[in-house]
A and B are shown apart, each in its own frame.
Chain A
């Protein structure tokens, strides 16, 4: 052994060292300490109303369910702050959420009205974006892309460019659309007048049938039930299909102006201009999210059926007013600075009666103006051109008019589905009790105030407010009273030409094929309740 290599560690020193290490170790392990630090989670927040101890009831709670395949609206959870406004709009204003029993069936009960999107403060709920699809077809030189604009867009889209609420920007909007590259810019006002011709004729037939006891008009199975319901609001139509399918025979068989223009474009227009309907892409600018749903309804392919290509849609894409504004801004176009341009002919002429479709009560007024003419052969008196009884933001309005040779015409107007429900419950009760109908004709609009405050309109107030609605309504009536060249649908020349050259007569054979539709009983998809 070489002792020179031994380290000078004595046994005592070594043992002391071991002892010290041992004591430290023992202390450490004996501590076996239970302090665990902070648990993970719980650093965030929830809205105030959910933070009280206990389980107190909360008035506005949760949010609406949205099917991810909903064609009209989508939701971005990242932006959702659980404020509950969507629930308030859907349950209390529209009376949809909560009006069905649980458990659900295989459907999320939604009428696609988009009021939730209008109320959502963060834009978590918004319309499904179809801008890129439309840009794509515009860019395709082989396709002939036409666009139609609803009555309500021309008095609202200016707001997206900083203009005051209700600014009338019809010509500028047309100019912007032309600059975006649409091949033709048409006006839904044209087909609104067309709708009045069809629906007015249908109403006259129903009234006559009620008088004589059997159906009138070209078909043995023409509808006869009174009151007749308007059918241009797809959110309202779906609401009726869900909750009041027993009353669907009251629904006018007329399509909405959007869909009528769609089917006319791919038949009449295509023929007139010698364009292959399969090359035509039909886009609609609407104040409405439900119109996206409507354009996709399976039966909305009349032009295609007629041409032997049933996969051809009457309307291909629907953009909301908000989407159009984004599209225009995306191209760097300042709408406010554009010079006004006119609509293209063949389907670009509209009357004052057409433009008031945007207002609650407007369809009613327009129908009365031409209905009077259809019933009496005379144009309506001045007083009927400003029917205040059906104007304004009251939820349910009624009026009674004297039509010479016919008698009293009783009408009602409801906007907002909660208000519609009141009327419908009454009608249902009347029918069950065998009482005669209170009204001949009812205009129903899904959105409070009508299309001017539709689910796709600019969010100039959040939540939507009556002052904005009033400004827009005023502009609509201004266009009708002061700016429109004609105020009666039956005087629309382009519509007259359409009948003369192509359709024949209102409610006739051709009209039925292209301009009328059928409805679906959706009551099997839910367990309807009368109260939330």
Chain B
């Protein structure tokens, strides 16, 4: 049965003209796009076995229905292979979840990107990078899946820079910000299993996020040493005082060192929760929270996150090098929460 596509159609001379036409229409992120021809869009929908009219998300505050067809058009433009479409769809479901609360992170001066973490067998199948150069270029799936998501936000949800995307600074992750967990080498429970899915399911976790913050520890032979460095860097970071969620990505060397001490993700979260708290006095003196310093504020502690579970620990990054990273979430966890959706095929 032929797929009926209802998007408005434009005729242009050839593929080169189509690329320029898309720039002129204001449909791109500043880079050239693949022309979204009906054949390519149909192939994208076919790979996810979706009806073009099917609603994947509804952005309540903007009364926008995000259909499979519009996701497919933007995924083609982003350069996705058809096989990536189910991952893009799951990511759109994630940002459409009321807990993610689109209007805040999609608009805010805080300039959040959408960090996308892929778990389960699909990561390997699609060659979604979980290793060297984790946040950098080099992998089509990582670069185009995140780009497709941002194009959907721009072209469908209305998050146009300077209009309904008012990020003061933004960051490069707003072009694409996709990683996979290194489940093949990780000794720990994968993120999606911790969040209630089975190991053989594939999932996408989305968090409204700042840029990655790298830290360095080449000296410590054990978990406590490595995590002491991390906790010190996190303590005064990003949302100190606002209690956002955080993602921590532990790369090969640190992963092995920490696991060598017998620590799992639960112990990592608890250690970071305990060692990243700030005194009210410090938060006030450094203008993170309002008010004059009161007696007792020096010993009154405010945790960096509301709960240890607000630190999402992911094994990812290259095998070599004593570097790992933490990523502060946008705003506070009350305003937007990471969501996890199954990739359906």
The judgment on whether A and B are partners is: no
Chain B residues with CB under 8 Å of chain A are none
Chain A residues with CB under 8 Å of chain B are none
